[in-house]
Amino acid sequence: MMDDLDHGLSEAQRATLHSLAEIITPATPGFPSAAEADPSGAVLDMALAELVRDRTAIVAYVDAVAHLWGKGVQQDLEALEAIDPAGFAVVCDLLVGRYLSCRAVWRLLGYPGRVPAPPAQGEVELYLRDDLLAPVVARGPIYTMPPG
């Protein structure tokens, strides 16, 4: 049975993911590397949980590239992609998504996170004029509030 904390990855696989993250999302002037943005790996765990449907592709790709460390290929993104383009794409989605989900990166980008944005006074009326939203209103409610 898969442990919720490791998402079915061995320590060696997590180390390979960590190494890949440092290549795909390295430190740049003014921005931290993946390891600096997520030192505990907590955001990586959340990203892995979101991509659980892609776990097989992630594990297969990580296993396929693990033997390359120390042979110079690990710094060549084109070579890493050539090994398994589909697996590389999934791992890039995982690692870039993880990086952009770190609050340290949010602060540097000036992103406040999700904040309430109720319509301003008179804003709704702008969209209701000239029946601009008539097709949407005609569809009626498309969802119901969850119980609770």
Phi and psi of 29, rounded to 5°?
Answer: -55, 120
pLDDT digits (tens, 9 = 90+) for 60-94: 999 999 887 666 555 678 888 888 999 999 999 99
Residues 14 and 89: beta-carbon distance below 8 Å: no
Residues 89 and 47: beta-carbon distance below 8 Å: no
pLDDT digits (tens, 9 = 90+) for 90-148: 999 999 999 999 988 999 989 988 888 888 888 878 777 778 778 887 888 776 666 76
Number of separate helices (H) and strands (E) present in the chain: 9, 0
What CA–CA distance (Å, rounded) separates 112 from 116?
11
Give the residue carrying structure tokens 């904390």.
Answer: 5
pTM check: above 0.85: no
pLDDT digits (tens, 9 = 90+) for 29-60: 999 999 899 999 899 999 999 888 999 999 99
Count of other CB atoms within 10 angstroms of residue 48? 23
